[in-house]
Structures are given as structure tokens and as C-alpha cells.
């Protein structure tokens, strides 16, 4: 019979210690985020300069195709793997059970992806104008990249942030480098994009070596735990809700704006939305690699978890406000620099977009609690209700406010959602 935990062992860390841990992790993860951002900018430039007419459009379509098949593993299985592996000792029976279940579900997702591409190539890959050989290599690259993402989630669960940073930098360098070489040697855009995926997938090897040396990839055994499959399956349901109520809603919003206002005015909104996507990627990567693994590890320590949530909110609320405020002050210079001189006309959309993002980021800090606690029903319900509220707000605001009604609707949506989160998680916040 084990001895009871001492009061000191269960006492939460002081706020300064929690803050220091969070900031150190954020600085380390910031290197990885910077590499991803730089890689994305270089990739866009390469396709714009060497890809010819439609090069950027093909890039966007290819990245959307990749996202279509990686949402369920990355937003579902791997999030669950981090949660359940974080408090476990590598090599234990439970650790092997959860890791084996994650591997099996990833294989299932890849089989579904292969079936979709082979059975319906027209709407998915016909735009690239290539045949079965291209499709086969695409599926190979998708398999390698999914394996890389699974091992990265194992490293994050174990707190191996340096390994995560190194692998992210490597992945961010290899993709654009492969595209540059392919385009400079006369390859078509479709071939260059396939090279981009395969180069990223090649990082599976270094990732596996790092995890193996750290003792994080023990033998899995022959039996698969049904409990682990059910546990990770709940995260798949949450990922499916993201697919239906987030990605599909964003796509539908763009279609509505084009129908209401036409392509040229919608371009102005798209520029502001693209700017938002860029810093949202930074925020999401930092929170997924630093905040969420720590939150998952504290799932059985409510006092320490509350301290973490309160500290992160206390830092982010003013910090994000200052950062987003600076973007607004630079609006007249920033949009033309990142896009084109004509996008200076989009500055009137920036203030409500920045307000929306400030509210969204604070909301995400709290919604991570639902993910860490695997509250599937609550998570799906929140996603569905949020999408329904946005649709209602768009119907009310677009006719009266025109194009600016879109970011206003988003700001109102996240304002309501943040208010609900502050009430629902009041014990964690106050």
C-alpha cells in the first residue's frame, strides 16, 4: 500500500514558477513557429515566381487536400495521444496500450484517405492532371507525414520540446528546399508539390530515431486495448466536429461573401483573414506545444491546473491586446507590404478582425480544458452552437453593415462564447 501524498507534493507551484515554465516553453517553441512561418513565406514566394499562372492556387488546393486527410489524425488521434501519454511512464503497459491504439487509428484514417482518393480522384486530385503514379506517391507521402506527426505527439507528451523544435525546423526547411530544386530543374508545379510532401514525410526517420533513443517507442505487443481505442475515438469525434463546424463553415462563409459582394471586394476581406491566419498559426502552435501538454499532465491535479490556466490568461489577455493593437497601428503599412498596394483599402476591416481574434484566443485557452478532460459531448455541442450562432449573426449583420459585417459577426460570436466559457469554467478562472 503506497503512502499518501504529502501536502507539499499536492500543493500547486507558485505563479512565478508557472509563468517561468510557460514563458521558457513559449520561447523554445517560438523557434519552431518562426521556422514554420519563414518556410510558408518562402514557399509562397517560390510558387509565385516560378510556378507561373495558377501556381499559388495549386499550392492552396494541395495544402487543403493535405488538411482534408490529416485533420482527423492531427486534431483527433494525436491530441488524445498527448493527453493520455503525458502522465504515464514510457514502457508501462498502459503507455503501450495508448500508443498502439493511436497507431491503429492512424492506419484506419490512412486507409479511408486512400479509399477516398482512389474512388473519387476527380474532385480531389484531377486538378493536378496526373495519374495513378502521382496518387500512389501522394499516399506514400501522406503516410510518412502522419507517422511523423504521431511521433511528434509522443515527444510532446514526454516534454521533449527541444526535439520537437528541431524536427519542426527540419520539416520547415526541407519542404521549400525540395520545391525550389524541383521548380528550378523544370519540374511541373504538380510534381514540385508532390516533392514538397515527400520531403516533409522524410522527417519520419529522424523523428523515429529521436523518440527511440529517448525510450518513447517501446514494443506494442499483439493485443490492442479496447479501452484505449474508445478513449482516442472520443477525440476523433471532436476532430470531426472541427471538420464540420469550423473548416466547412469557413469555406461556406467565403462562398457567401463572394455571392453577396463579388470577387474583388471579397479579396479585401481575404487579405485581412489571411493576415489573421498567419498569427493564428503562431498562437495555435505555441499553445499546442507548450500549454496543452502541461494541461493534460495536470489533469489529476485540479489546484495546479487552475494555477496554470489563471497564469496563462493573466499573461495572454494584456499581451495579446498589445500585440494586436500594434498590428492595427501599422495597418496602413502592413497590408500593402504583405500583399499589394490595392489591399490598403482593407484597413477598415482590420479593427473588428483583431478584436475577434483577441476574443478567440482567450476562448481557446479555456476550451483546451474540454479537450484535456476529454469532454466530447460538451466539445461537439460548443462547436455546433458556435457555428449556428455565427450563421445567425451573419444573416443579421451582412445586409446592414456590408463586408465589415463578416468580422463583426466573428467578434460577436467569440464574445458570446468567451462569456459562456468564463461562466462555465468559473472555478478554473476566478
Confidence of residue 4 (pLDDT cuts 50, 70, 90): very low
pLDDT > 70: what percent of the chain? Answer: 87
Q: How far apart are CA 140 and CA 144, in angstroms?
A: 6
- Selected residue with higher pLDDT from 426 and 17: 426
C-alpha cell at 333: 503599412
How much is the average pLDDT of 77-85?
A: 90
pLDDT of residue 60: 63
Q: What's the mean pLDDT in 201-215?
A: 95
Q: Is residue 336 scored above 60 in pLDDT?
A: yes
Domain extent listing, the chain: 14-224, 257-429
Confidence grade of residue 211 (pLDDT, cut at 50, 70, 90): very high
Q: HSE (CB half, 13 Å, CA atoms) of 336?
A: 7
Taking each helix axis from N to C terminus, what angle separates 15-50 and 302-329, rounded to the nearest 10 degrees? 40
Alpha carbons 380 and 293: distance in angstroms, whole number: 21
The pLDDT mean for the chain works out to 84
Tell me the per-residue pLDDT of 239-290, one tens digit each, with 9 for 90 and over: 888 777 876 677 677 668 878 887 667 777 877 887 887 788 888 878 887 7
Residue 245's pLDDT is 82
Residue percentage of the chain with pLDDT more than 90: 41
Given this model, what pLDDT does residue 233 score?
A: 87
The position carrying cell 480531389 is 124
CB atoms within 10 A of CB 176: 22
Instruction: For 86-122, write each residue's pLDDT tens digit.
Output: 888 898 889 999 999 999 999 999 999 899 888 888 7
DSSP 8-state secondary structure symbol assigned to residue 245: I
Task: Give the Cα separation of 48 and 46 in Å (integer).
Answer: 5
Mean predicted confidence (pLDDT) in 36-59: 71
206 exposure class (CB count in 10 Å sphere: 0-12, 13-18, 19+): middle
HSE-up (13 A, CA, CB side) for residue 134: 18
- SS in 3 state form for 314-379? HHHHHHHHHHHHHHHHCHHHHHHHHCCHHHHHHHHHHHHHHHHHHHHHHHHHHHHHHHHCCCHHHH
How far apart are the C-alpha atoms of 394 and 352, rounded to whole Å?
14
Average the pLDDT over each of 167-176, 251-260, 401-410 and give the range with the smallest value: 251-260
CA distance 2 to 343: 65
What pTM was computed for the model?
Answer: 0.69
Cell 529517448: give the residue: 214
> What whole-number distance in Å separates Cα of residue 105 and Cα of residue 79?
13
Question: Under a CB-based contact definition with an 8 Å cutoff, are residues 387 and 249 in contact?
Answer: yes
With a cut of 50, say whether residue 6 has pLDDT above it.
no
Decide which of 17 and 412 is more confident.
Answer: 412
The pLDDT assigned to 21 comes to 59
User: How does pLDDT run across 7-42, given as a tens digit for each residue?
Assistant: 444 455 665 665 555 555 556 566 777 888 788 777
Query: Around 100, how many Cα atoms within 13 Å sit in the side-chain half-sphere?
Result: 18
Amino acid at each position: 500500500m503506497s503512502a499518501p501524498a504529502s501536502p507539499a507534493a499536492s500543493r500547486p507551484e507558485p505563479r512565478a514558477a508557472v509563468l517561468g515554465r510557460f514563458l521558457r516553453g513559449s520561447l523554445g517553441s517560438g523557434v519552431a513557429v518562426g521556422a514554420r512561418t519563414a518556410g510558408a513565406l518562402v514557399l509562397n514566394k517560390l510558387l509565385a515566381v516560378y510556378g507561373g499562372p495558377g501556381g499559388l492556387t495549386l499550392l492552396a488546393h494541395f495544402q487543403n487536400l493535405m488538411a482534408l486527410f490529416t485533420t482527423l489524425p492531427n486534431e483527433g488521434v494525436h491530441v488524445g495521444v498527448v493527453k493520455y501519454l503525458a502522465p504515464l511512464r514510457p514502457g508501462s503497459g498502459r503507455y503501450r496500450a495508448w500508443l498502439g491504439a493511436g497507431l491503429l487509428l492512424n492506419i484506419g484514417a490512412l486507409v479511408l484517405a486512400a479509399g477516398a482518393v482512389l474512388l473519387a480522384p476527380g474532385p480531389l486530385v484531377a486538378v493536378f492532371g496526373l495519374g495513378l503514379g502521382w496518387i500512389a506517391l501522394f499516399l506514400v507521402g501522406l503516410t510518412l507525414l502522419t507517422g511523423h506527426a504521431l511521433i511528434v505527439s509522443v515527444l510532446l507528451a514526454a516534454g521533449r520540446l527541444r526535439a520537437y523544435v528541431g524536427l519542426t525546423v527540419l520539416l520547415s526547411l526541407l519542404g521549400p528546399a525540395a520545391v525550389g530544386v524541383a521548380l528550378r530543374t523544370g519540374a511541373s508545379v504538380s510534381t514540385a508539390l508532390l516533392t514538397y510532401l515527400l520531403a516533409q514525410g522524410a522527417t519520419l526517420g529522424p523523428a523515429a530515431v529521436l523518440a527511440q533513443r529517448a525510450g518513447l517507442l517501446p514494443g506494442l505487443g499483439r493485443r490492442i486495448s479496447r479501452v484505449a481505442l474508445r478513449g482516442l475515438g472520443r477525440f476523433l469525434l471532436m476532430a470531426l466536429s472541427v471538420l464540420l463546424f469550423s473548416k466547412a463553415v469557413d469555406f461556406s462563409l467565403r462562398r457567401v461573401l463572394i455571392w453577396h459582394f463579388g470577387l474583388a471586394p471579397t479579396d479585401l476581406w481575404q487579405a485581412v483573414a489571411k493576415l489573421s491566419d498567419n498569427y493564428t498559426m503562431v498562437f495555435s502552435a505555441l499553445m499546442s506545444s507548450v500549454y496543452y501538454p502541461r494541461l493534460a499532465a495536470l489533469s489529476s491535479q485540479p489546484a495546479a491546473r487552475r494555477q496554470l490556466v489563471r497564469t496563462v490568461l493573466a499573461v495572454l489577455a494584456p499581451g495579446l491586446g498589445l500585440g494586436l493593437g500594434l498590428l492595427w497601428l501599422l495597418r496602413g503599412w502592413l497590408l500593402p507590404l504583405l500583399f499589394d498596394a490595392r489591399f490598403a483599402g482593407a484597413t477598415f476591416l482590420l479593427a473588428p478582425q483583431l478584436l475577434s481574434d483577441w476574443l478567440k484566443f482567450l476562448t481557446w485557452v479555456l476550451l483546451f480544458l474540454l479537450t484535456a478532460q476529454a469532454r466530447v459531448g460538451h466539445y461537439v455541442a460548443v462547436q455546433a452552437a458556435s457555428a449556428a450562432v455565427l450563421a445567425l449573426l451573419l444573416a443579421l449583420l451582412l445586409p446592414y453593415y456590408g463586408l465589415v459585417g463578416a468580422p463583426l459577426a466573428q467578434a460577436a460570436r467569440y464574445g458570446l462564447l468567451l462569456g459562456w466559457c468564463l461562466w462555465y469554467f468559473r472555478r478554473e478562472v476566478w
